[in-house]
Structure 1
């Protein structure tokens, strides 16, 4: 086991050194290829004999608290790894494949204790906008975007920034908890133990929260309860999968949320995307831009009117042109 633990540590340290955001283990009958995703691009790292990978997989499953004997169902867990300098938060996910094999993906979360909002976004004015949303006492703020675009990192940074400035009771419901936050009640969703998002939301409301962060609105039941919580005087911040900011409104309607409830609860929607930068090494090599839907453009979208003609709405295409013209962005 010591040898397997050393191999696991070597892979993790190599990924950290290359600023990888993900590690992918792809097994076949004889070999397992390992790839790192670095600044959005997938790079081959090395190949291992599949029997060696099976031992590594068992090691990662054991140390993260997964069921080692379960190979027919997907599993998710989180893990922390400390090197000489920093503490890294890892999110692990297994997926059964053919021939009784399992693939493993490890998401590497930013190691900083607090990720400064100014380091996340390309345009400072967008930071000011989303910070202003957080002054609301009730309502719903949603972030959408593709997997790995930094939605959760943005929300974490927002929460930490607000907590530095105000004393609030904040509760998070996550599956899994991606990063331990100080002075915040964090709840791990565990559907096998009966702790679903719906159950967690009901329990969270008994803790007198000012703000509830829901890791993801993924079904009608969670969407309806989040709206009810917002209507009852709580600020809800969450993520949802949708094509873009306008599509988020349509997605909520498909989940059975009434137009009148959207009018009463939705504060804003931000669709997030990462772009490569031409900036110095003092800042990330990728930064976020936001397609923001709020104010009159949001109200129009709730009534199924596309926001393109509203001056408060700036689509991704215009944001990319602006970034390119300012010399921030490269293809």
Structure 2
């Protein structure tokens, strides 16, 4: 019975195409909210004890420690909606100063029809061609912008390759890939796992995030040694990725040898109420290294605004949406 009630909460969020489910403590109760295209709405309000039971159940499903209520934890597990399409849940929990635990589930939808996910499917086809080369393909963009889904789609388009995924946590279950999860307590960092995985001789790496110098160094080493590596870097624009890599100690020479493409990705609401992904792409051939230091890497390229203008002209998005996302 309790499982059915929890499933109902999750299914409600999936049916409404929510991106997140929030379980937030409020004095003697828990507020359960969902995020739909940036608008957060409360869907249930339950007694505090019941809210804790819901959180513990979800933590158990995601293989998180039930005894830990204050320190941050992450986990993931596979959900299914009523139409039997796969939806993946990425969980994050943390306790406040009173020891009251909150939980957020990021819902990751796995669509089969890529034409319905992207404004310009031909842009995705260009990315698929680039993936036939060796080297480094990097993604940036806000949390929840679909970067992981795009990386998985691109690698699925490759044939007869061995794929190694290293993530924190693993977000999308893919039985055809060898997937490994970061565990800092067990000394299984991104850098350590990439080093160990090189001995398995994979053709392709998906590395969830380049977040420190050690990871940046080993990812570049993997790309230099003939692997295709797809990863993400926190930056506000595609050009901002270059500056971030320089800050992490990656040399211009190594980038010239390895970098194939940088993609800034953002999910943008359409006039029909759905969201689709839009790319800003910067290829290695488009970079002017001498001028890069003088360019404001916080600004989007002209190509981004041109594509947004096409979306307005095709009546896919509104003028208000164009203004909101014109700077990324």
Q: Which residue of 2 aligns with 1:194?
A: 187
SS of residue paired to 1:118: helix
* Residue in 2 that maps onto 1:149: 145
Does residue 290 of structure 1 match 2:286?
no
Q: Which of 287, 291, 315 is residue 327 of structure 1 equivalent to?
A: 315
Alpha-carbon displacement from aligned partner over 1:58-77 (angstroms, at most 9, x marks no partner): 11112221111112210011
Question: Conserved in 1, the CA contact under 8 Å of 2:259 and 2:284?
Answer: no
Query: What is the SS of the residue equivalent to 1:207?
Result: coil
* Candidates 106, 127, 130, aligned match of 1:130: 127
Paired residues for 1:268-287 under 5 Å: 268-278=261-271, 285-287=274-276
8 Å Cα contact 1:27-1:103 kept in structure 2: yes
Instruction: Indicate if the aligned counterparts of 1:120 and 1:154 stay in contact, CA closer than 8 A.
Output: no
Q: Does 1:175 align with 2:168?
A: yes
2:291 & 2:225 partners in 1: Cα distance? 20
Deviation at 1:96, TM superposition (A): 1.8
Gaps of 5+ in 2: 322-328
Is the Cα–Cα contact under 8 Å of residues 270 and 317 in structure 2 kept in the other structure?
yes
Could you list the structure 1 runs, at least 4 aligned residues long, displaced by more than 4 angstroms after superposition: none
Alignment of 1:10-159 (within 5 A): 10-82=8-80, 85-86=83-84, 87-112=86-111, 115-136=112-133, 138-159=134-155
Tell me whether 1:318 sits opposite 2:306 in the alignment. Answer: yes
Matched position secondary structure for 2:56? helix
* Cα displacement (A) at 1:293: 0.7
Counterpart secondary structure, 1:68? coil
Cα shift at 1:299: 4.3
Compute the displacement of 1:303 (Å): 4.2
Q: Secondary structure at the match of 2:104?
A: strand
Q: CA deviation at 1:22?
A: 1.0
Change (3 A) 1:302 1:147: farther
**Kept after mapping to 2: 8 A contact 1:36/1:42:** yes
Distance 1:246 1:103, change over 3 A: same
Q: Name the residue aligned to 1:161.
A: 157
* CA displacement 1:59-118 (0-9 Å, x = unmatched): 111222111111221001112234554243211110221210111000112144xx3432
Deviates further, 76-85 or 261-270:
76-85
Q: What TM-score do the two structures reach when normalised by structure 2? A: 0.90
SS in 2 for 1:272: strand
Q: For structure 1, list consecutive stretches of 5 or more residues without a partner in the other structure.
A: none
By how many angstroms is 1:326 displaced? 1.7
Residue 204 of structure 1 corresponds to 197
Q: In the TM superposition, what whole-angstrom CA distance separates every residue of 1:195-253 from its partner, at most 9, and x where no partner exists?
A: 21111101111111111110111111111110111111111101111111011100001
Equivalent residues of 2:14, 2:81 under 8 A apart: no
What's the offset of the Cα at 1:259? 1.2
Following the alignment from structure 1 to structure 2, what is the Cα–Cα distance between the partners of residues 10 and 301? 56
Of 260-269 and 185-194, deviating more is 185-194
Q: CA deviation at 1:296?
A: 3.1
Q: In 1, Cα distance between the equivalents of 2:188 and 2:177?
A: 18
Q: 1:42 to 1:315 in 2, by over 3 A?
A: farther
Q: Larger deviation: 119-128 or 65-74?
A: 119-128
- Cα deviations across residues 257-311 of structure 1 (Å, max 9, x unaligned)? 11111111111100011112235xxxx8111111111143234488435399xxx
Distance 1:83 1:146, change over 3 A: closer
The total of aligned residue pairs comes to 315
TM-score (structure 1 length as normaliser):
0.89
The question of whether the paired residues in 2 share the 8 Å contact of 1:23 and 1:107 is answered with: yes
Q: What is the RMSD of the two structures over their aligned residues, measured on CA atoms?
A: 2.0
